[in-house]
Chain A
C-alpha cells in the first residue's frame, strides 16, 4: 500500500516551514517560490491551505508528456519528472487540471511533488501535523469520516 500526504488545513498556521523544507530538499535553497507545496491564504491569513500534487490515479501529466519524462515510482506511487528527459515543453502544466505541475524558468524544466522519494520533507517539517504522510487507505478513511461529520452537522 502506498502512502499519501494527508493535509488538514484546520491545523495549518501558514508558517511556511513546508515550503522552505521542500525548496531546500529539491532545489538546494530556502525559497518558498521554488517549493512544490504552496500555502494559500484566505480571509487575510485567518485560513490557510497547503496545496500540492495528490499523485492522482489519472496521471494527466504523465499521459500528456510527449517524451516519457514523467514516470511512476513503483515504491511510492509518485509521478516523478525525470529532469534529464524533460524538454521543458510545459504541456503537463496545462494538462494537469489541479495545477500542481509548474514550470521552473531557471532550469527550463517542470517541477512537481515527488514525495521526496518516500520521505516528504514538508511533512517532516510541519510543526502542527497539518501535513502528515500516512497509508493511502488511511487518507480515504479520514476523508470519509470528515464528510460523514459534515453531512451530520
Chain B
C-alpha cells in the first residue's frame, strides 16, 4: 500500500505519523512544496518577534524524525491529480502513483485586488519565506500599515509591535476580530490596542496604494491617506485547491469531505486548512483553518486511510489569541442560535468578558476575554453536549460559575 500525502503542515505530518503507527510496511510519501523542514505557520509570529529561532518553528525537533519512521519527504509540487490512473503529476519528474491520497495542501494568504498591492513594499506574513523577507526588509521604527485585524492579523500585530514599528491597523469590518468576537469584545480589544500605542482604523478599507520615493501612499475609503514604509497584508487565507482543476474531486470553498474525511472520489482524502469537512456544531461542511482541526483531521484521515471505520463527529470552530497581552478565545456558535439563550458579563475596566450561548440546557458557543484558567472546559462542554440541567439557570445569572457547572455535571461532585 502506498500512501501519498500532499503537504507537510500539521495535518500532513500527523497523518503520516499516524499511518506509520497503524502499519509498519506501508510506503508513506509526503510531497512538500517548501524547501524547509516541516514547520508550523502558527509559530512564525514568534520568530518575527525574536522569541524563537527558525528551528523553533519546526513541527518535529529531531532532524532524523521522518527517516526514523521511514516517512519519505519529497520536495516537489503537485500540479494535477489523475484520479483514473491514481497518480499525481509533479512539477519535476515522473508521475507518482498512490493507493491512498491525502490532500493536506493548506491555504495561502490572499492579496485584496487593490491597485499597487503588487509593490515589493507589501508583505504577506504566512510562510517562512515571507518571514525572511520581512526580517530583512522591515527595520525598527519603520511606518507599517497592517491590513486586516482578524485572527491572523491580530497574531501578526503582536509580532509587529515586538519589532518596534510605528504601526497603524486598517480593518474593513466595523470591529477587530469580526469572525471570532462580537461587537462588545471587539471594542474592548480595540481600546486595549490603542492604549498600547497602536492606531486602529476599523470600518474602512484601503482603495489604492502608490509607491513614491521609497514610501507608500495608502488611500483609504474614508478619503484619508496614510504614508508608510511597508504594508503587511493579513487579509485572509484561501484553501489551496488549484491543483484540483479539471479533476473529478468536488470542491466548494475547500475540498468537500464526509465524516470519514473522504472526498467524493474513492481513496482520496483531505485534511486541515484545505478540507471543508463536517462542523460539529451545525452538521454543515465548513473550512476550519485552525491548528486543532489540522491535527485532528490528520489523525482521523489516517485512521480512515488505514481502514479504520469509526466516523468523525466533526471539527469545532475555536480560536485563542493574544493581542498585545489580552487573551481572547472563542468556541462554537458564539453568536448564538435561534430560540437560544444568552448571558454575558463584561468588566470593561478589568478587560474581562465572558459570553455564553445556550440551546435548551446545552452550551453551544462561548466568547472570553481575559480568561486564561480552565478555558478548555468551554470546548469540553460544547463538544460533548453536556446537559447542564439546573446549572443553566445559575449560569444565566452568573456565567463565571462555568467551571463549577462543568465539575458538577461532568466530574460529579460525589462529595
Chain A residues in the interface with B (C-beta under 8 A): 9-10, 12, 38, 40, 42, 47-49, 51, 63-64, 66-68, 85, 87-91, 93-105, 108, 146
Contact = CB atoms under 8 A, between A and B. Distances in A.
Contacts of B14: 63
B46 A63 contact: no
Interface stretch (B233-241, B245-253, B378-386): B378-386
Contacts of A102: 372-375
Interface of B: 10, 14, 40, 42-43, 46, 51-52, 56-61, 291-292, 295-296, 299, 318-322, 325, 327, 329, 331, 372-380, 383-384, 403-404, 406-408, 411, 413-415
A20 to B, nearest CB: 17
Given A9-B413, A146-B414, A93 B295 contact: no
A91 B299 CA distance: 17
A42 B42 contact: no
Contacts of A103: 327, 372
8 contacts: A66-B10, A67-B56, A90-B321, A94-B318, A94-B375, A97-B379, A97-B384, A99-B380
A97 B372 contact: no
Given A48-B415, A49-B413, A94 B331 contact: yes
Contacts of A90: 320-322, 327, 372
B59 A68 contact: yes
A91 B372 contact: no
Nearest to B330: A94
B83 to A, nearest CB: 30
A15 B320 CA distance: 33
A37 to B, nearest CB: 12
Contact of B376 (A66, A99, A104): A99
Contact of B292 (A47, A48, A64, A146): A64
A97 B10 CA distance: 20
A93 B375 contact: yes
Contacts of B331: 94
Contacts of B378: 94, 99
A66 B43 contact: yes
Given A63-B299, A68-B60, A93-B375, A98 B320 contact: no
Q: Which 9 A-B pairs have the closest CB atoms?
A: A97-B380, A99-B374, A99-B377, A66-B40, A99-B376, A47-B415, A96-B376, A103-B372, A87-B46
B380 A98 contact: yes
A134 to B, nearest CB: 18
A53 B379 CA distance: 16
Given A9-B415, A63-B299, A66-B43, A91 B292 contact: yes
Given A63-B299, A94-B320, A51 B375 contact: no
Contacts of A146: 414
A88 B77 CA distance: 32
A10 B413 CA distance: 9
A5 B164 CA distance: 46
A61 B292 CA distance: 9
Given A66-B40, A94-B379, A105-B372, A88 B56 contact: no
B383 A68 contact: no
A99 B375 CA distance: 5
B377 A97 contact: yes
A13 B118 CA distance: 66
B376 A101 contact: yes
Given A9-B415, A93-B375, A94-B379, A40 B42 contact: no
Contacts of A9: 413-415
A66 B384 CA distance: 24
A105 B327 contact: yes
Contacts of A49: 407, 411, 413, 415
B42 A51 contact: no
Given A40-B407, A63-B14, A89 B43 contact: yes
B376 A95 contact: yes
B383 to A, nearest CB: 6
Contacts of B61: 68, 85
- Of A48, A66, A88, A90, the most chain B CB neighbours within 10 A belong to A66
Nearest to B327: A103
Contacts of B43: 66-67, 87, 89
Contact of A93 (B58, B376, B403): B376
Nearest to B298: A63
A91 B414 contact: no
A91 B380 contact: no
